[in-house]
Amino acid sequence: MAGLIAGVEVETVRRGLERVRAEIAEAAARAGRDPAEVELLAAVKYIPLEDLPTLREAGLTLLGENRAQELEAKASAHPEFRWHFIGQLQSRKVKQILPYAELIHSVASDSALRQLEKHGTPDTEILVEVNVAGEEGKAGIAPDDLPAFLERAPVRVSGLMTMPPFSDDPEDSRPHFAALRELAAAHGLTRLSMGTSQDFAVAVEEGATLLRVGTRLYGA
């Protein structure tokens, strides 16, 4: 896989984890939140399977994978971690993902809902991906389509996820995070997956409960 971050060292990851946790705590304090409300997920798309024990030794316990085949391989080899699926969801991959992911972050199509109805269980839990910025060609349902989409969901929807437009300025993500928070509140949903390495502090200030952080943890 191109772009792999191979040979990560325990102390490097520990330092990265300490820095990220400190920034989460500071952002939570600014927002009057308890940092314990915010769960840190380590994105491992670019971490090879053989380096996963290093992450465990450094103190990481919740991992997120973007690709169904990699999730199956990594979660099968390392069931000591909790696993989420955080990549773009292809409906034909739902059956492959379900045995390994305790949460799917990126449900955004009726074809995925049909597969969840067919293969899901009473314990299946998902987040709905919302394209709050209305970006052309980007995954996620439109905010106006959310109520009907939630009604059609055959499994438990506990929250929402979004990926704002990429920007070098974390503040550019704030209105999109705020919009997702308001959507979730309007529908009684409590989990918000938003914020990555470049903007997770802003996400915490705007109510994130799940952060998907990768490179900031690995010193890359």
pLDDT per residue of the chain (220 residues) written in tens, 0 to 9:
456 787 889 999 999 999 999 999 999 999 999 999 999 999 999 999 999 999 999 999 999 999 999 999 999 999 999 999 999 999 999 999 999 999 999 999 999 999 999 999 999 999 999 999 999 888 999 999 999 999 999 999 999 999 999 999 999 999 999 999 999 999 999 999 999 999 999 999 999 999 999 999 998 5
Q: Are 102 and 80 in contact (CB under 8 A)?
A: no
Closest CA to 60 of 41, 87, 36: 41
pLDDT at 193: 98
Nearest alpha carbon to residue 195 among 35, 41, 7: 41
Instruction: Please tell me the pTM assigned to this model.
Output: 0.95
Position 7 scores a pLDDT of 84
CB atoms closer than 10 angstroms to residue 69 = 11
Q: Coil, helix or strand for 125?
A: strand
Query: Closest by alpha carbon to 72, among 53, 55, 49, 54?
Result: 49
Residue 220 has a pLDDT of: 58
Distance between CA atoms of residues 166 and 157, nearest Å:
26
d(CA 193, CA 218): 21
**Under 8 Å between Cβ of 112 and 132:** no
Ranges of each domain in the chain: 10-218
Residues near 28 by beta carbon (within 8 Å), at least 6 away in sequence: 34, 35, 37, 38, 204
CB atoms within 10 A of CB 213: 23
Number of residues that this document lists for the chain = 220
Which pLDDT score, from 0 to 100, does residue 3 have?
A: 65
Residue 38 · residue 58 · CB < 8 Å: no
Query: Residue 92 has which token pair?
Result: 């034909």
Pairing relation of β-strands 62-65 and 39-43? parallel
Q: Give pLDDT, residue 78.
A: 98
pLDDT at 5: 80
Which CATH number among 3.40.50.170, 3.50.50.60, 3.20.20.10, 2.60.120.620 corresponds to the domain 10-218?
A: 3.20.20.10
